[in-house]
């Protein structure tokens, strides 16, 4: 049956709808547990992972390493490029907060409430950033669902989380990665050594690698600085693989890809009446915006008319009906989401200079939207 929909509900050809029920980031940790012979209660079985039976699986999350990025730079990552590679999808928005929530719990952003870099805080009514955790709501309250690390611990196999000291008991760790034994490791070589030691004990080992994303935001993923960070990652993964014993798998994945933008060409909401009228707050990311206002339909129509093919604009109800935030949205998450949702196409970016920080206004590499460059992520299987 054909259903007549408003223009703004027509799904553009460039949109990659999240594949929450199949090859999604949320299936990585339960697949790693199954590969180690560990049964985790409530784990989805839509994606079985690369397979194999292992004593341990080391899951490395390389922040910002999209599937398109690694495919474009094989000469700078010879070790990673020659390993078997699967393509998974991030959820929406394709950003670290949402993806870590999905990775850590297996749940979509519509359930975790980790649905963007910044959102409207129901406790205060104000815009709050979740990486910096500006909300007074405790992390375990904002995201109350059990993590896979907690479930693994309950199953008798305590996982290990390796990262820099600032991630130990950080709000994001408490929200979506709590339950693991945390091992502090700073430099690349320290992280590699810590992962080798942890894998000797068996089970699931998680290692976060953040340098690529940092270089991409500052300089773009096609920059010399990003390529140098990729080369460091590749050498570290080669050394890690060489140090791991038999029957230990190394999986390298990511939370999102990236698009290079021109900060000077970003559209500023504050500078355009067609965008600012009726809008009380803008949150989210420069390529995936949560827009708040009293007349969502009118705002959505004005924004779509202004942006034309440069973005896909829809009301919150439309986005929920289309499953962008997952198969369901919890009642407590509803007020967090924008009344209007905007996904940006091409190399565009939309900012609000009234609330954005100077650092965010200068970012080159951006992500969050529904393009393949942002949504598609690798699962590189460097098994022995």
Q: Is the pLDDT of residue 44 over 90?
A: no
Determine the pLDDT at residue 22: 86
Determine the pLDDT at residue 157: 93
Share of the chain above pLDDT 90, in %: 89
Read off the tokens for 41.
Answer: 């209660």
Global pTM reads 0.94
Residue 2 confidence class, pLDDT cut points 50, 70, 90 = very low
Q: Is the pLDDT of residue 343 over 80?
A: yes
CATH 3.40.720.10 fits 25-260+372-381, yes or no: yes
Q: Is the pLDDT of residue 233 over 90?
A: yes
Residue 46 confidence class, pLDDT cut points 50, 70, 90 = low
- Assigned CATH topology for domain 262-365: Gyrase A; domain 2 (3.30.1360)
Distance CA 238, CA 228 (A): 15
Determine the pLDDT at residue 7: 42
Helix then strand count (H, E) for the chain reads 16, 17
Q: Which residues of the chain form beta strands (DSSP E)? A: 56-62, 85-89, 118-120, 127-129, 160-163, 181-184, 203-209, 248-253, 259-260, 267-268, 279-285, 288-293, 311-315, 340-344, 350-351, 365-366, 376-381
Residue 45 confidence class, pLDDT cut points 50, 70, 90 = low
Q: Is the dihedral of CA 376, 101, 285, 339 positive or negative?
A: positive
Determine the pLDDT at residue 117: 97
Average pLDDT of 80-97? 96
Determine the pLDDT at residue 250: 97
CB-neighbour burial class of residue 292 (10 A; exposed 0-12, middle 13-18, buried 19+):
buried
Distance CA 24, CA 87 (A): 9
State the chain's mean pLDDT as an integer: 94
Instruction: Render pLDDT for 111-151 as a digit per residue (tens, 0 to 9).
Output: 999 999 999 999 999 999 999 999 999 999 999 999 999 99
Q: Is the pLDDT of residue 327 over 80?
A: yes
Backbone φ and ψ of 293, nearest 5°: -175, 170
Determine the pLDDT at residue 384: 59
**Residues 90 and 255: beta-carbon distance below 8 Å:** yes
Residue 3 confidence class, pLDDT cut points 50, 70, 90 = very low
Q: Is the pLDDT of residue 317 over 70?
A: yes
Determine the pLDDT at residue 8: 47
Residue 219 confidence class, pLDDT cut points 50, 70, 90 = very high
Backbone φ and ψ of 355, nearest 5°: -125, -20
Distance CA 114, CA 111 (A): 8
Average pLDDT of 269-280? 97
Determine the pLDDT at residue 52: 81
Determine the pLDDT at residue 76: 98
Distance CA 9, CA 313 (A): 8
CB-neighbour burial class of residue 118 (10 A; exposed 0-12, middle 13-18, buried 19+):
buried
What are the structural domain ranges in the chain? 25-260+372-381, 262-365
Q: Is the pLDDT of residue 271 over 80?
A: yes
Task: Mean pLDDT check: name the lowest of 31-40, 77-86, 94-103, 366-375.
Answer: 31-40
CA 219 distance to own-chain centroid: 20
User: Does the fold of domain 262-365 match that of domain 25-260+372-381?
Assistant: no
Average pLDDT of 319-334? 97
Q: Is the pLDDT of residue 79 over 80?
A: yes
Determine the pLDDT at residue 5: 38
């Amino acid at each position: 049956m054909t259903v007549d929909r408003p223009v703004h509900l027509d799904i553009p050809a460039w949109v990659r709808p999240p594949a929450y029920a199949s090859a999604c980031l949320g299936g990585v940790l339960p697949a790693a547990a199954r590969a180690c012979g560990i049964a985790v209660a409530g784990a989805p079985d839509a994606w079985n992972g690369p397979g194999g039976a292992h004593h341990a699986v080391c899951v490395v999350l390389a922040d910002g390493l999209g599937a398109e990025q690694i495919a474009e730079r094989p000469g700078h990552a010879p070790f990673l490029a020659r390993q078997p590679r699967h393509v998974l999808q991030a959820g929406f928005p394709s950003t670290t907060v949402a993806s870590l929530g999905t990775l850590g719990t297996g749940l979509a952003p519509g359930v975790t409430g980790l649905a963007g870099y910044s959102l409207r805080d129901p406790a205060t009514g104000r815009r709050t950033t979740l990486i910096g955790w500006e909300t007074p709501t405790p992390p375990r309250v904002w995201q109350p669902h059990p993590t896979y690390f907690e479930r693994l611990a309950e199953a008798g196999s305590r996982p290990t989380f390796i990262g820099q000291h600032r991630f130990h008991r950080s709000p994001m760790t408490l929200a979506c990665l709590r339950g693991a034994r945390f091992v502090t490791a700073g430099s690349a070589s320290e992280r590699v050594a810590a992962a080798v030691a942890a894998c000797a004990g068996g089970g699931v080992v998680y290692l976060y690698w953040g340098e690529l994303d940092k270089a991409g935001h500052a300089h773009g993923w096609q920059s010399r600085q990003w390529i140098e960070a990729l080369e460091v990652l590749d050498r570290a993964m080669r050394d890690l693989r060489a140090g791991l014993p038999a029957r230990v798998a190394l999986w390298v994945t990511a939370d999102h890809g990236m698009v290079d933008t021109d900060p000077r060409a970003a559209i500023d909401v504050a500078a355009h009446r067609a965008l600012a009228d009726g809008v009380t707050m803008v949150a989210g990311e420069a390529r995936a915006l949560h827009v708040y206002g009293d007349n969502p339909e009118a705002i959505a129509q004005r924004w779509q008319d202004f942006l034309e093919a440069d973005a896909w604009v829809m009301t919150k109800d439309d986005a929920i009906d289309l499953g962008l935030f997952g198969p369901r949205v919890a009642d407590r998450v509803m007020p967090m989401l924008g009344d209007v949702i905007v996904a940006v196409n091409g190399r565009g970016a939309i900012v609000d200079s009234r609330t954005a920080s100077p650092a965010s206004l200068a970012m080159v590499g951006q992500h969050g939207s529904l393009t393949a460059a942002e949504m598609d992520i690798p699962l590189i299987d460097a098994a022995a």
